Amino acid sequence: MALSPAQRHSQRIAMEQKLKRSQALDTTESMHMLIRALETDVEHVRSLPTIADRVEYKRDVLLPRWVPTVEAYLESGQVYANPVFAWCVIWLFDVGDLDKALDWADIAISQQQATPDRLRSNFPTFVADTMLEWAQETAGRGESVEPYFTRTFERVANTWRLHEQVTAKWFKFAGLELLRNDDGQKTAAGVDDIKTLEKADQLLVIAEKHYSKIGVRTARQTIAARIRKLTTQG
């Protein structure tokens, strides 16, 4: 039975009050109304002038507003297309809550949830790209990329079906990262352990097999030269 305009208005007000109080909404009811509220929030955050403003708003406003609804959905055991869930996963990555982001991304992928249209990639690709960028920035600052790098790399290597170039980038990063010295340079010249050099080369070989233009030839030649030198010295 269709609701009257007055009933729809009352329903919208009740929904908005629940969201303001960080209370869960039933996503099986009035999904169109819920999506409208979600889209309004998405557009608002896009209108904010700086990335820092957007991150702060997602962390302090949007996630407290919508996470209870996602938690209720997950606890229900039901599985259906849920754009609220999809957006919350993305926002969790945006604000750097990587533990929850990766946990929920695993669930979203297992449920075959679709990413919002504007992302133009599926969840495995989104997570792979996002986490590789994070790992590159984090390693570049001399900080540890664990446990998040290994956790994601295992899925990239063994589980997710990704474009070959995406997978190759991960293997290339993993291989070159083994060569990183205290100054942040990725070079075989400073590595004295042959097993480490061999492992790095194996990873770069896999990268090249996935995507021949990934650009690891020079690094592999340097590794081979370093192994020869160490073997001769031994």
Largest Cα span, the chain? 86
Q: What is the pTM of this model?
A: 0.87
Q: What is the mean pLDDT of residues 148-163?
A: 96
Q: How large a percentage of the chain has pLDDT more than 90?
A: 75
Are residues 131 and 152 in contact, defined by beta-carbon separation less than 8 angstroms?
Answer: yes
pLDDT at residue 170 greater than cutoff 90: yes
- The pLDDT value given to residue 5: 66
The pLDDT tens digits for 21-35 are 767 777 666 677 788
User: Taking the domains of the chain in order of start, what are their residue ranges?
Assistant: 42-120, 147-234
The pLDDT tens digits for 132-155 are 999 999 999 989 999 999 999 999
* Helices and strands (DSSP H and E) totals, the chain: 11, 0
Continuous H helices in 21-147: 31-47, 51-57, 63-76, 83-95, 98-110, 123-140
